[in-house]
Amino acid sequence: MHGVSKSFGGVHALRDAHLEVRRGEVHALLGQNGAGKSTLVNILSGVYVDYGGEVSIDGRPVSFRSPAEAQAAGVATIHQELDLVPEMTVAENLFLGREPRTRWGTCDRRRMARDARGLLAAAGVDLQPGRRISSLRVGEQQLVEIAKALSLDARILIMDEPTSALADAEVRRLFDVVRDLKRRGVSVIYISHRLEELAEIADRATVMRDGTVVGTVDVPTTPAGTLIQLMVGQRMEQLFPSTGTEPGEPLLVVDRLTVTPRRPEQGRREPQDVSLVVRAGEVVGLAGLMGSGRTELLETLFGTGPAGTRTGTVTLDGQPLEPAGPRDAIARGVALVTEDRKVSGLALGQSVRSNMTIAALGRVSRGGVVRAGEERRRVARMAEHLRLKAASQSVAVGTLSGGNQQKVIFGRQLMTEPRLLLLDEPTRGVDVGAKAEIYRLLAELAERGIGVLMASSELPELLGTCHRIVVLHEGRVVADLDSRTTTQEEVLAAATTSNDTTREQA
């Protein structure tokens, strides 16, 4: 791709951008949200047809008029925003629009299921082809997207944040698939905010900033700090700030919590005999493989888990905590940032202001009527505190970058003035600059005495931001580790163990 430029309504998304990818190469495409990465690959994949510059494959100029034309030429894309039909099965999604046919012209479901099993196995995915997409966790859906892209037999595979919802073991399986594609001569354009992955999987990296390409480097010989400096335009000496304070008295105490749902859901792993403590001013991480029960534990504490019976006890500030729902949890001082901001976190068509104040309307209302001036003042203070980048409070939150959308969700929860903040993959799909700001915020919250319980698939993130890391396996606590003395390998070893005995190392 040479001299590629693209504008939207007078705003330049790309200026004279260039990208050269070799055959059988994993080429990372890096940059903060809004740097132009998605626009560049959307041109390559046929989404945008009106642009300046030239695109060539094997030395021959191409100009795709649709994604279908790009796929026919061997360009396949795994989008960060999942492109699946929730009420269709895994197999139906894998072959949507190209279903195998019987000799009578009807859909050959037996063959489709058989072929789906082969594709899922090739992608290292252990799922039944007949399961509905809506019953899968976000990470499982992402694996289905990967299997779907592999089925297209692409020559150029664009992977946009393919590991954002995957735990470490699933990431390693994905990397095995990518290495196999390299051996077969497939070129992979790999977009990721997880810089620690690049040394393991990428050959070269092109870095973008403000719609332009600022450099292409060899990954094995380039320090991560140099990549960060290229992306943000300044040095970031300390990605993970220290809180500088020691945790206080126990805030959240979970003692032998077990949840038995009235109607068990396939793919969920409810808490089983879970015990843990979060102290005031402490950030506690939840680690574990996909399906380990991290999300289910957070949902139980917030009152959004399935109906059923509970044994054991949960206390907050020494008082029983059994919220009947989110409103009850918020009233008790508990807030939750969910793992999928676009599905369960934001009303994308509504304004920044309404998204930020919806959970705390009682604080900006009098007699049931919202005080518009007070609402605007509180949102302005929160936006300044979070360094939110938005044209105004009135713009639709769906027009913001991923990192700024995440800040809106944080702002909403902080407006409820919580004592305990529950976080489920809080930096999923945000760039390194936004991650650094979220880490700064966590350290600040800890210094204010707020307790944080954070589930994350990124082990460096857990080790860098948390005081302790509680590891779950099949809904049970298998380790409680001091982040200052443990390693990624030790956390992963605990996450993959079948031993249900809690190991205390904190």
Q: Where are the domains of the chain?
A: 2-232, 250-333+418-504
Cα–Cα distance for residue pair 162/139, rounded to 1 Å: 10
| Structure tokens given for 47 | 């989404």
Place of tokens 């713009």: 395
Q: How far is CA 490 from CA 284, 363, 481, 504, in A?
A: 17, 45, 9, 13
- Judge if 2-232 and 250-333+418-504 fold alike in CATH terms: yes
Average pLDDT over residues 169-191: 87
Which residues are CB-contacts of 114 (< 8 A; sequence separation ≥ 6)? none
Query: How far is it, in rounded angstroms, from Cα 202 to Cα 182?
Result: 11
| Longest CA–CA separation in the chain, Å | 72
Lowest mean pLDDT among 42-46, 166-170, 202-206, 271-275: 166-170
> What band does 131 get if pLDDT is binned at 50, 70 and 90?
very high
Length of the chain in residues, anyone? Answer: 506
pLDDT at 423: 95
pLDDT digits (tens, 9 = 90+) for 281-323: 999 999 988 778 999 999 999 999 888 899 999 999 999 999 9
pTM: 0.67
Give the mean pLDDT of the chain.
Answer: 87
User: Which DSSP helix (H) or strand (E) runs through 261?
Assistant: strand 250-261
Q: Looking at the domain covering 2-232, what would its CATH class be?
A: alpha beta
Contact 111, 192 (CB under 8 A): no
- Nearest CA to 235 out of 243, 248, 226 is that of 226
Question: At residue 119, what is the residue type?
Answer: L
8 Å CB contact between 190 and 201: yes
* Domain 250-333+418-504: top CATH class: alpha beta
DSSP state for residue 134 in the 8-state scheme: G
More confident residue, 281 or 362: 281
Q: How many other CB atoms are there within 10 angstroms of residue 408's CB atom?
A: 24
Which pLDDT does position 495 carry in this prediction?
Answer: 86
Residue 476 pLDDT greater than 90, yes or no: yes
CB-neighbour burial class of residue 453 (10 A; exposed 0-12, middle 13-18, buried 19+): buried
Cα atoms in the 13 Å half-sphere on the side-chain side of 133: 20
**Residue 234 predicted with pLDDT over 70:** no
Closest by CA position to 436, among listed 165, 162, 225 = 225
